[in-house]
A = this chain, B = another copy of it.
Amino acid sequence: MAKQRVTIVEMGLRDGLQNETVTLTPSVRLELIQKLVNSGIRRIEIGAFVSPKWVPQMAGSGELVRSALRLQKEKRISRNIEFSALVPNEKGMIMAMETGIREIAVFASASESFSKKNINCNIDESFARFEPVIALAIKNKIKIRGYLSACFGCPFEGKISEAKVVKLARRLRDLGCYEISIGDTIGVATPNQVESLFKKIKKVVPAKKIAAHFHDTRGQALANILAAYYLGVRTFDASVGGLGGCPYAPGAAGNVSTEDVVYMFQGMGVETGISLDHLVAMNPWLTEKIQHPLATKAGRVGKLIPSGRI
């Protein structure tokens, strides 16, 4: 049997940093991108074209995208690396296009209340906002990734209907998203729920177009990734260091840590293309920049170390 392979989509610079209290300058973020690329990561969401008034951590995303693309042009970063950025509306899309980026991401929520709280509009309105973004992307041959958040639960509505999630996933596919990232934004899912929902989504979106996006709020993320992997999903969103999930803060809601995901798949003999040693080596640098111990576990200890008593 051919070796299995998974793709990690690195979220640290966007979903990670936007939930950190410290704001990193575009030049530190560029350094982070270079370290990630050196570790073998090939897909990176660089930032978001949102108002710095609302999300100061994403300020300078345009400058950062330009710098990264320039490094690719100068062959200091491989052309194989795929960069993307989150775009909430037409204004953001125009800014994104000015940078020359070749992939953008749009986002919707599976919960009406979560949508309203997060992006201040209901689900249909959020899709209406996509329309000009997607039209511009298609016209300019820019790839479109779609996020669907709160797919397993919402702090305001509780459990979300699977049928609703499936319907919205299909809607994102029909709009032209080449990949749909199914998010457990508040980290409430357990493996059986992942199995149940992803089975249904696979009927309308092929597994190769599905990404799984788990937050580790209740420690379930890796078990959920395993459940999704068993169902044929091969693309997983993760944040280096578990950025966005501070081990001090109650309610920390970070993405699953890239290192923990890489460790699991490497142990399972599944190719990730990523060097865990590289990620472990960059941990002290990242910890210093973020100014608190990172949530990652495998990223702190690496492959094999002595331990305490039995």
Among the listed B156, B253, B293, B309, which residue makes an inter-chain contact with A118, where contact means beta carbons less than 8 Å apart?
A: B309
A18 to B309, CA, bound (A): 8
Binds B, one of A31-39, A72-80, A184-192: A184-192
Q: Mark A258-271, 1 if CB is under 8 A from B, else 0.
A: 01100110111100
- A251-B305 in contact given A190-B264, A222-B219 (Cβ < 8 Å): yes
Residue A19 is within 8 A (CB to CB) of chain B in the complex: yes
Of the listed residues A251, A301, A303, the one surrounded by the most CB atoms of chain B closer than 10 A to its CB is A301
With a cutoff of 8 Å between Cβ atoms, the chain B residues found around residue A67 in the complex are: none
Residue A47 is within 8 A (CB to CB) of chain B in the complex: no
The answer to whether B305 touches A155, judged by C-beta atoms less than 8 angstroms apart, is yes
Which residues from 264 to 310 on chain A have a C-beta closer than 8 Å to any C-beta of chain B?
Answer: 264, 266-269, 293, 295-298, 300-301, 303-310
The answer to whether B244 touches A149, judged by C-beta atoms less than 8 angstroms apart, is no
In the assembled complex, how far is the CB of residue A305 from the closest CB belonging to chain B, in whole angstroms?
5
Closest residue of chain B to A269 (Cβ to Cβ) is B192
